[in-house]
Chains A and B, each alone.
Chain A
């Protein structure tokens, strides 16, 4: 574990406005948020609250309207292989084999082809896809495709993993299995993770920190520290504390979802 209080990344008064003039939309109010080293931070909030925008800003895909995102106290100016990104779907290189997908990062960051393949095989083994390395992504199920995406992001050995609803498009059973798997990977590698999800249970099961956001314009409504991330037992989801926190977050999100609905109706 890192010394207490060590910060891996943070948002310093980051706001985002899309468009200009009277038609513009304020997606994020100035947000300050710290992501401790080795933490697993889950952002939850109603649709359109700007959680993906926040992740895109830290990834370097979007620039904030004001404020700055920092990693190791260095401002983010663009994408960087030290930050691995996993998307919901549609981000794999369909024309490459699974192995080539995972080897892409190591190759891009200057490893020799042989070394890149060795790294790819290592991470494919970690996500249990060794026997699929010669297949193409379209030959795989949705859950396996997400594993490839995770292995690909891990292959650069990033210090920070940014994951934008990686399991949202999967069926419930696959999602649960992958949640257990990502928990194991996180416990083994102790990467710092910023994870976006709609699912309260997913957040409670995985996160060391849960950040609840408000409806647009997004602000931080609450920050919680559940204690289930280090637990390896899938049955924690039935514990009293888990159920209590779930109800608590559910109540917060319900208020925000209703607010979001009113906004939509007003438009």
Chain B
């Protein structure tokens, strides 16, 4: 069959591309003659980064284990992400269903959408203190407009014919929402969920920049103050892995739940 072989081909290219990047990293950091092309202070070799990672898992960073840093980052992201999905998606669905609700909520959401949320961080710290609340709130603020507006758009772009067909079949408003509009909106909602994972991880880095003493991004930030390039890179790669893994999970969930996405019938 043609289709699987094409995916397989893409897989190989993915792998080769990744390998090439790694090879490039190895080449510029391996000493040929007396010193490598790039100084370890600017870019340490993969091997030494790996060793740093192992050391960090054993000794932790600034008195806290690496897993504690990772755990607190995951907790901030997870809490903010879950809260936002639970509130913004139903609200967006409601906005899509009801013109009045849309008219009320559209202005605050649209105004807040282009606002750079990180600029609000100092204010949030004044409001909520230096604890976890400000960090969670800033991620929520960033994700909220995306998730609510996409859910609203998803509802509004449900095919009119499908809704009419359901009405003609005698479905109640509740049944139309539960069995037609909601499932028809799911592919759009999943797309925005995946977008917001990427944005959420980015916001997490911002939230851990100020007034914190734990978290993977904090670790990378503080290490850069001491020119611990290895730790910076371990931190950056861990954030990347975190974002990538979450996206993979979301994609797997998407393929399972909205298997009809993008297909017409």
Contacts and interface: CB of A to CB of B under 8 A. Distances in A.
Given A85-B164, A87-B161, A93-B180, A80 B264 contact: no
B165 A91 contact: yes
B166 A95 contact: no
A108 B161 contact: no
Given A136-B259, A137-B265, A91 B170 contact: no
B179 to A, nearest CB: 7
B162 interface: yes
A123 to B, nearest CB: 13
B82 to A, nearest CB: 24
A152 interface: yes
B120 to A, nearest CB: 39
Contact of B260 (A85, A105, A108, A136): A136
A140 B265 CA distance: 8
Contacts of B259: 136
B172 interface: yes
Interface string A108-123: 1100000000000000
B258 interface: yes
A95 B258 contact: yes
Contacts of A153: 168-169
B118 interface: no
Interface in A227-261: none
B30 to A, nearest CB: 51
Given A108-B171, A137-B265, A90 B183 contact: no
B227 interface: no
Interface string A123-147: 0000000000000111010000100
B175 interface: yes
A136 B265 contact: yes
B159 interface: yes
B172 A108 contact: yes
B2 interface: no
B257 to A, nearest CB: 9
B22 interface: no
Contacts of B264: 89-90, 94, 138
Contacts of B35: none
A17 B89 CA distance: 38
A94 B265 CA distance: 6
A108 B265 contact: no
Contact of A85 (B168, B180, B183, B265): B168
Interface in A73-103: 78-81, 83-85, 87, 89-96
A257 B263 CA distance: 35
A18 interface: no
Interface string B119-131: 0000000000000
A104 B161 contact: no
A59 B164 contact: yes
Interface size of B as a range: 20 to 34
A138 B168 contact: no
Contacts of A93: 162, 165-166, 179-180, 183-184
A138 B258 CA distance: 13
Contacts of B170: 79-81, 105, 108-109, 156
B167 interface: yes
B260 A138 contact: yes
Nearest to A100: B179
B169 A81 contact: yes
B164 A108 contact: no
A193 B258 CA distance: 36
Nearest to B171: A108
Given A138-B263, A140-B265, A91 B162 contact: yes
B168 A95 contact: no
Contacts of A94: 184, 260, 263-265
Contacts of A85: 164-165, 168
Interface of B: 159, 161-162, 164-172, 175, 179-180, 183-184, 186, 258-260, 263-265
25 contacts: A59-B168, A61-B167, A61-B168, A79-B167, A79-B168, A80-B168, A80-B170, A83-B168, A90-B265, A91-B164, A91-B165, A92-B162, A93-B166, A94-B184, A94-B263, A104-B171, A105-B170, A108-B170, A108-B171, A109-B170, A136-B265, A137-B265, A138-B263, A145-B265, A152-B165
Given A79-B170, A105-B169, 11 more contacts: A79-B168, A80-B168, A80-B170, A81-B168, A87-B161, A91-B165, A93-B180, A95-B184, A108-B175, A136-B259, A138-B265
Closest 5 CB pairs of A and B: A137-B265, A81-B170, A138-B263, A105-B169, A79-B167
